[in-house]
Amino acid sequence: MKRAALRIALKETDRRMLNQSITHSCRADYRAHMESLVGKIEESDVVGDRTSVARLTKQLSGKKNNSIFSKPSRKSDGSPIIYIETAPEEWAKVLQNKFAPHEGPHPI
């Protein structure tokens, strides 16, 4: 049965109950996921694995690292980019190094 036909076939109360059950199921899944993250953080803390604690806490907080798309502010030799005219050349160097093929595992 197509979605439109199902929508017409359901009564208003049935549709509301269906939507509520979907909402409650989504909330329960989200809570279970969050509880599993908290459990993993506690386990890592007991073991003393600070790296995992930091990574999982960051994942739990939901904050993203938005510096991925930041423009380079320093030249390849470490000095700051002062003149905007030289910036495209420096950005090209940085991007060329970043996307160049690497031997072995890719550095993160």
DSSP string, 3-27: HHHHHHHS-HHHHHHHHHHHHHHHH
Write out the two tokens for 87: 């910036």
Model-wide pTM > 0.85 = no
> Rg of the Cα trace of the chain?
25
**Distance from C-alpha of 50 to C-alpha of 62, rounded to nearest angstrom:** 19
Would you list the domain boundaries of the chain? 1-63, 65-103
The span from the first CA to the last CA of the chain, in angstroms, equals 48
pLDDT in tens, 51-98: 999 989 888 887 666 655 566 677 767 777 777 777 788 888 877 877
pLDDT in tens, 13-46: 888 888 899 999 999 999 999 999 999 999 999 9
Write out the two tokens for 35: 């509880």
